[in-house]
Amino acid sequence: MACIMLLALNPDTPVFSEAYGFLELFAGEGWVTKLMKVNGIPSAAFDIDYGQPLEGKQDAMNILSDPGFALILLSILNAKFENFLVVIGLVCSSWVTVSSGTHYRSPWFPLGIEEHGFVSRGNQMTSRVVLLILAITAMGGTWVLEQPRSSKVIWHPRVRLLWRLIPEVWCFSAC
């Protein structure tokens, strides 16, 4: 992580052609990014569906891969200081109530049954998103974490820590 930050903060390292004003994580079709670009705002969208890795390589668009996480973090560090927005549509399949019979998440058991791959990946993804949100906040950016009302992600220990570290978080659901 320290090497990535040193590389990104070195002014002699040509990484990106312009500073981003908008980033969209877990973008799906990337409609918001497309609209931002139409309006002249330098933007980027990230989604696991955007690329297929070469054989034997990790997917650079997958936040769970080291290159994917590094690419997203570098993009955040390349954003317009104190003048950018990141919309994060965190994958909710392992957090919603409808999956409770499988993941068993609750306020008393927030990490669920990690033997299930989707639960373990959901925990790892959430932890990485919290790190990215801390980087966004440190850069003076604004972030939006979208989740369905029935999501139990607010019980994740790192999300609880995030709420304590960042005093001005607005929640439009049952936080």
pLDDT tens track for 75-92 = 898 898 889 999 998 887
Phi (first) and psi of residue 29, to 5 degrees: -75, -15
Question: Is residue 173 predicted with pLDDT exceeding 80?
Answer: no
CA distance 18 to 78: 8
User: CA 48, 130, 27: angle at the middle one, nearest 5?
Assistant: 30
Residues 6+ apart with CB under 8 A from 93: 99, 118, 122
Q: How many CB atoms lie within 10 A of CB 145?
A: 21
CA distance 152 to 150: 6
CA distance 47 to 118: 17
Question: Is residue 56 predicted with pLDDT exceeding 60?
Answer: yes
pLDDT at position 32? 92
Mean pLDDT of 9-29: 76
Entry field: residues in the chain: 175
Supply 113's token pair: 């049954």
Phi (first) and psi of residue 9, to 5 degrees: -85, -5
CA distance 144 to 168: 13
Tell me the CB-side half-sphere exposure of residue 15, using CA atoms within 13 A: 22
Listed range (10-14, 59-63, 95-99) with the worst mean pLDDT: 10-14
Mean pLDDT of 1-11: 60
3-state class (DSSP) for residue 73: helix
In contact, 137 and 95? CB cutoff 8 Å: no
Note the pLDDT tens digit of each residue in 119-159: 899 999 999 999 999 999 999 999 998 888 888 888 899 99
Question: Is residue 24 predicted with pLDDT exceeding 90?
Answer: yes
**Which amino acid is residue 4, in one-letter code?**
I
